[in-house]
Amino acid sequence: PPVPAPAPAPESTRETGPDPAPEVSPKPASESTPESAPVPTPEFTPGSAAEPASDPTPDSVARDAEAEQEASLAALRQRLVVSAVLATPVVLLAMVPALQFDFWQWLSLTLAAPVVVWGGLPFHRAAWTNAKHGAATMDTLVSLGTLAAFGWSLWALFLGDAGMPGMRHGFDFTVARADATSTIYLEVAAGVITFILLGRYLEARAKRKSGAALRALMHLGAKDVAVLRGGREVRVPAGTLVVGDRFVVRPGEKIATDGTVIEGSSAVDASMLTGESVPVEVAVGDTVTGATLNAGGRLVVEATRVGNDTQLARMAKLVEDAQNGKASAQRLADRISAVFVPIVIALALATLGYWLGNDAGLTAAFTAAVAVLIIACPCALGLATPTALMVGTGRGAQLGILIKGPEVLETTRRVDTIVLDKTGTVTTGRMTLQTTHTAESTDEAEVLRLAGALENASEHPIAQAVATAATDATGPLPTPEDFANVPGLGVQGIVEGHAVLVGREQLLAEWEIRLPAPLAEAKQAAEAAGRTAIAVAWDGEARAVLEVADAVKDTSAEAVRRLRALGLTPILLTGDNRAVAESVASEVGIDEVYAEVMPQDKVDVVKRLQADGRSVAMVGDGVNDAAALAQADLGLAMGTGTDAAIEAGDLTLVRGDLNAAADAIRLSRRTLSTIRTNLFWAFAYNVAALPLAAAGLLNPMIAGAAMAFSSVFVVGNSLRLRTFKGA
């Protein structure tokens, strides 16, 4: 057929989705550490018009919040480093008699005092706050034990015999009544605070990016835009756009805000926002969404929503609401301490009363009571969680799994349902050529060479999928002549002397070319399965039908089987049409499917499942998954996805392989089990020595040995996680 002149990019065949919801006001999330109060969260309105120059912008607010968080973490790090430097010689002097010299105890006091008072200040402050509310946590236990040990040591040094020249702590493990006036426990006080500061620092560092999901969402938008003013293009900051402004979007540029196309047609890549790989065709009258990418021709768009009204801002609000409403798991140590602390205090008071009632004297009674408080403060408690977490996260990193913090781990034990986003998670997220159906006496290689050459001249993502497959199969492609893009139908041109048509069946019909029965049946079957069918013709005859789709990852079916073996029920969640969703679900072995779900509705699906009593894990990779990842009891973000999804998740799967989700849950459960074992032994050795303390038989070396042995056991138990093997 004759070839017409080149035409604009393809027309629209569908819209981007329903209009965004009403106004929202996203705020960057904040966090706190033992160093400071929560970081302030000043409200901002991205994209609002006519703001004074001094008003905060999204970028400046994000930078300020991040700077405050970094400063808080740096202060905690300084507290830890100073405490560790001072506490190390105190512990060595107490535990190694060969290092003890005349008046070593006074050097220990000089070094330990700043650790107990300044290093332990966050714990003392928290313990006081808890006491005013009638609560007891790990902070209460740490504060009570360290202050008791430090107070005992001060009394022994200034009022007893511990400050005399020549005083030594030897390795005497006999169970006998100790001389309270010559016994000090400075190493217990300094060591406990230092170890638990280490745990708090590691936890705070893991949480430092708690607001990064919102910042990543805000950074997705265009930074500047070409606005039409008086018939000329004027480049202005995207935040200055107002409703009614008309702006130009060239190929490869992000659309600055939600609007309506008033000139031009193009293919819009909305994958960063919707997560779906199929491009959206838009033309005059169609709506477009801010932060999506123009992959085709030049567009002129009239802004209909700006700032907090945009779909991007609404999604940021959903993420914020989900993160704020998601109750963080209470630390296991706190729950244990809530029971353990009252028991220890009661035991100490009972010990004091018993010895006073038996006429042992005030000094002996007080000595035994304080000994109970000292031995009850387990140094290993500060190591139980951070050591297991360090080893577990280190092993996870080797396997492509990043665990954000200890509060994530307990959730992995409870989850019973895992929701899988389709595009980019179960599938590759890229359009690829799946099958080539050829007419009788037509060579497949020739079909790919001619169709691929023509599609290679198009910017359309589906065309590029065909061109890539053709290049892989046949090598370098010829250059077409008289190439033309037929709006909404396909492309045509001359390739190696053949007049070639590639596109919809209607394109062939315009040249009175009909698909033969076998090709028509292949086209119908492909469309029934949710795939895109492309007709190919040249020299007046239909030659082939190409099937293009988002391919399922090779490992997805195996990963679904492994997830089922872990006791999880898999669910497929996608914005794609039901035919595509059910085809993918059938291929990987998933029975429950939620299809045609708009980005802002994914979080509602998770909420409904939770309302039904399910504990939900969510695996996703797109911006549209960020709110659902934050809402889920456990969020697993594919590391190959967007920053917003990664920051909203609790676990990050660096490999981009769904098998990593099964490995992540197995490793998390194993790490949690290790932490539980560590916590048990952190208390067990010290609890075993409590009767000795209550009986007034506490030997300082028994106390030191209990502390040291429990710490060694905790570290050794944690190191076993290095043997964990993935798929």
Catalytic sites, residue numbers: 421
> From CA 359, how far away is CA 504, in angstroms rounded?
101
Return the structure tokens found at 432.
């690829």
Phi, psi of 571, deg, nearest 5: -130, 135
HSE value, Cβ hemisphere, 13 Å, CA-based, for 182: 12
HSE value, Cβ hemisphere, 13 Å, CA-based, for 500: 28
Single-letter amino acid code for the residue at 102: D
Return the structure tokens found at 20.
């965004």
DSSP-derived 3-state class of residue 552: strand
> From CA 518, how far away is CA 320, in angstroms rounded?
53
Q: Which of 213, 274, 327 is nearest to 648 (CA)?
A: 213
Q: Which of 428, 423, 416, 658 is nearest to 561 (CA)?
A: 658
> From CA 576, how far away is CA 420, in angstroms rounded?
13
Residues pairing with 572 in the sheet: 420, 593
> From CA 376, how far away is CA 373, in angstroms rounded?
5
Single-letter amino acid code for the residue at 547: E
Q: Which long-range contacts (CB under 8 A, 24 or more apart) does 610-615 make?
A: 614/416, 614/417, 614/569, 615/411, 615/414, 615/415, 615/416, 615/417
3-state secondary structure 334-396: HHHHHHHHHHHHHHHHHHHHHHHHCCCCHHHHHHHHHHHHHHCCCCCHHHHHHHHHHHHHHHH
How many residues in the chain?
727
- Number of helices (H), then strands (E), belonging to the chain: the values are 23, 22
